[in-house]
Amino acid sequence: MAMQFYTNIDQIMRDRSELARKGISRGRSAVALTYTGGVLFVAENLSSSLHKISEIYDRIGFAAVGRYNEFENLRRAGVRMADLNGLSYDRRDVTGLALANAYAQTLGAIFSDQQKPFEVEICVAEVGPTPAEDQIYRLAYDGSVNDEPGFMAMGGQAEAIATVLKGAHKSDMSLADAVKLALKALSSVGGEGGAARTIAPNQLEVAILDRARRGRTFRRLTGKVLTDLLNGNGAAPAKESGKGDDKATEGAEGAKPPASGPDKPTSSAGSADLE
């Protein structure tokens, strides 16, 4: 009869944690922070088609770092869960806290039961009716969940980036100021000898949860809109609510007031996944 090798459970957990942390630290960073009009997501991303930032539901956004195939599976599961609960009960019953708890259970079970943990760190954010009601949740590879105080950084040198955010973040800052702060924080690390570096706008993935909009609040900011924000020339324009709201908002000349949309949109973040 073959003899089973014994490994201390503490050692197994330490090895899994080290594997996950190393995988996450090798990825490019992402930040989420609140501003006067909602919640801003900014990630360093060289790909235009593989997104780190996505919509989950009407007022809920998702950002992640680490292995793309692993956090993409989590994103799709979250979209399906949100759509199912919104259809079965009411769209207002879908909350960021409920999704964060579901992700925490999934990640915790994978970390404890599977041979290899997910090498991911994710953020679930929900924009509220007022700035005081905005929520940002950080979920680690082992299923631990934290309610963050208005800002967070993950991936890469997250601690150094979070220090820059902590020193300058204000909940009443404008969108332009928030985008510039996020870029400053991401640029503060990664240079030669630990120095700051320059990140071009086309290397950023930027999106917002816009509190002023009804229905689906998620918007991507790219092109001239993003460049104008970084240069301090305007704010992100709004777009009519409806199908295709998750496409990039670009090409507008300046700031426009947000347009009202339907209370119950006919499409959702899961439309493309479920077709």
- Report pLDDT for 23: 92
pLDDT digits (tens, 9 = 90+) for 1-34: 565 666 788 888 999 999 999 999 988 999 999 9
* Within a domain: 4: no
Range of the domain at 93: 26-274
* Within a domain: 193: yes
What CATH number did the domain enclosing 240 receive?
3.60.20.10
* Within a domain: 5: no
pLDDT digits (tens, 9 = 90+) for 165-206: 999 999 899 999 999 999 999 999 877 777 788 999 999 999
Torsion angles phi and psi, residue 208, rounded to 5: -135, 155
Quote the number of domains for the chain.
1
* Within a domain: 3: no
Closest CA to 186 of 165, 168, 172: 165
Mean of all residue pLDDT scores within the chain: 86
Residue type, 208: I
pTM (two decimals):
0.84
* Within a domain: 13: no
Rg (CA), the chain: 19
DSSP string, 78-112: HHHHHHHHHHHS-GGG--HHHHHHHHHHHHHHHHH
Is it the case that residue 225 has pLDDT exceeding 80?
yes
DSSP code of residue 58: T
* Within a domain: 197: yes
Torsion angles phi and psi, residue 6, rounded to 5: -100, 135
Is it the case that residue 125 has pLDDT exceeding 80?
yes
* Within a domain: 7: no
* Within a domain: 164: yes
